[in-house]
Amino acid sequence: MGCERLILPKNYEDKLSDLDTEIAIKIVKDQFEKRLADELGLVRVSAPLFVTHESGLNDNLNGTERPVSFDIKDLNKDVEIVHSLAKWKRQALNRYDMHQFKGLYTDMNAVRRDEELDNLHSIYVDQWDWEKIIEPKQRNSDFLKFTVVKIVKAICETETILHYAYPQLQRIVSEDVFFITTQELEDKYPDLSPKERENEICRLHKTVFVMQIGDVLKSGQKHDGRAPDYDDWSLNGDLLVYYPILDCALELSSMGIRVDEKSLVSQCEKAGTMDRLNLPFHKALLNHELPLTMGGGIGQSRLCLMMLNKAHIGEVQVSIWGEEMRRICAQNGMKLL
């Protein structure tokens, strides 16, 4: 299953030994984590692997993905493994004393059982989830862009350090970020699918931030789905880079300025999920008990795949793959861990 979606780059050659791969992964994770924290003023905190359904804290993603759930014998309670920590982080900021720092980040591990497996998608998700408090005057696209540029700077600095250790690796990311909205992208490529539009714009501009994801476009279609209760659809986006090894746009991060009371209600109404407003997290937001924030997730394995010039995410993380996919990957130089 999923083999029909595999991209098999011609003449692909792994530039690192198995041991050097593990060493390089450690370099990327250590160096980027430090630079992300420095650029955004973040402190690392611990985070949950699972939450209760009743809390309303699990990320609903596109609204169709099924969380992995299990019961806790001693508590007689069911819990769900997180999809991401988008809402949990905002609640956590309300608990921690953040006077010294502007926000928090954490290592997020998730299981997404409904993911379609290919070169870039695994059921195991590992990312740096971050969240920071902002002022009302910062709820605008200029501040969103300003933050994106800081994240890209941290990525480029990490690439530079890795290149010193392994000069045979190709550097991928341009520090010059091109910003475009989903509507502008549809207007530019009306006959292409959303994914094809991303590929084309990344071939042109290398590092791209596609903004305003979640709402319906003029065509009546969405560029991509977004849950209605964390990102403000008018103030969010995806960070993409052109990845020549797979000849496609590679998404490194999804992020945005979070919903306030007005956008929460508006987006839940559009999505037909007004029942969520009765959940504890949503009630706290509507009662002005949570701070205004922005945040996102940055894929750890995605970043490693790109910087190590790999062709399959299974070359930088241990997950579950079908035997047929493993066989085809091995025949094409991709050594899945």
Per-residue pLDDT tens over the stretch 178-213: 999 999 999 999 999 999 999 999 999 999 999 999
pLDDT at 100: 57
Distance CA 173, CA 313 (A): 18
Which residues make Cβ contacts (< 8 Å) with residue 250, sequence separation at least 6? 120, 202, 240, 241, 242, 243, 302, 305, 306
Give the pLDDT band (50/70/90) at residue 152: very high
Q: Active site residue: 238, 267, 302, 315, which one?
A: 238
pLDDT at 313: 93
Q: Active site residue: 251, 302, 315, 319, which one?
A: 251
pLDDT at 80: 85
pLDDT at 1: 54
For the segment 66-89, the average pLDDT, to the nearest whole number, is: 82
Tell me the HSE value of 329 on the side-chain side, using a 13 A CA sphere: 24
Q: Active site residue: 91, 122, 127, 317, which one?
A: 127
Which sign does the torsion angle of CA 305, 326, 127, 217 carry? positive
Q: Three-class SS of residue 28?
A: helix
For the segment 264-276, the average pLDDT, to the nearest whole number, is: 90
pLDDT at 161: 96
Distance CA 116, CA 108 (A): 20
Q: Active site residue: 59, 80, 232, 260, which one?
A: 59
CA 309 to chain centre: 19
Are 193 and 262 a contacting pair, CB within 8 Å? no
Give the pLDDT band (50/70/90) at residue 56: confident
More confident residue, 321 or 303: 303
Q: Which amino acid is at 77?
A: K
For the segment 285-309, the average pLDDT, to the nearest whole number, is: 93
Which residues make Cβ contacts (< 8 Å) with residue 217, sequence separation at least 6? 182, 183, 186, 223
Q: Which amino acid is at 10?
A: K
Q: Active site residue: 254, 300, 301, 319, which one?
A: 254
pLDDT at 90: 81
Distance CA 181, CA 152 (A): 18
Q: Based on the residue annotation, tell me whether 238 is a catalytic residue of this protein.
A: yes
For the segment 134-160, the average pLDDT, to the nearest whole number, is: 95
pLDDT at 116: 83
Lowest-pLDDT range, 59-63, 158-162, 181-185? 59-63
- Report the percent of the chain where pLDDT is more than 70: 96
Q: Based on the residue annotation, tell me whether 127 is a catalytic residue of this protein.
A: yes
Q: What is the pLDDT of residues 208-225, one digit of tens each?
A: 999 999 999 999 999 998
Which residue has 């919903």 as its token pair?
259
Q: What is the pLDDT of residues 312-326, one digit of tens each?
A: 999 999 898 888 889
Of the candidates 102, 241, 270, 244, the residue with the CA atom closest to the CA atom of residue 176: 241
List domains and CATH numbers for the chain: 3-331 (3.30.930.10)
**Six-digit token string for 270:** 């559009």
Which residues make Cβ contacts (< 8 Å) with residue 108, sequence separation at least 6? 47, 82, 84, 85, 125, 126, 127, 128, 129, 297
pLDDT at 251 over 90: yes
What is the average pLDDT value for the chain, to the nearest integer?
A: 90
Which residues make Cβ contacts (< 8 Å) with residue 92, sequence separation at least 6? 45, 47, 104, 131
- Report the percent of the chain where pLDDT is more than 90: 59
Give the pLDDT band (50/70/90) at residue 92: confident
For the purposes of burial, counting CB atoms within 10 Å of the CB of 166, is it exposed (0-12), middle (13-18) or buried (19 or more)? middle
Are 140 and 152 a contacting pair, CB within 8 Å? no
For the purposes of burial, counting CB atoms within 10 Å of the CB of 1, is it exposed (0-12), middle (13-18) or buried (19 or more)? exposed
Are 228 and 281 a contacting pair, CB within 8 Å? no
Q: Active site residue: 35, 90, 112, 302, which one?
A: 112
pLDDT at 81: 83
Distance CA 184, CA 141 (A): 15
Are 305 and 316 a contacting pair, CB within 8 Å? yes
Q: What is the pLDDT of residues 110-137, one digit of tens each?
A: 888 878 888 888 988 899 999 999 999 9
- Strand segments (E) across 143-292: 178-181, 207-211, 231-243, 248-258
Q: Based on the residue annotation, tell me whether 59 is a catalytic residue of this protein.
A: yes
Are 29 and 300 a contacting pair, CB within 8 Å? yes
For the segment 270-289, the average pLDDT, to the nearest whole number, is: 89
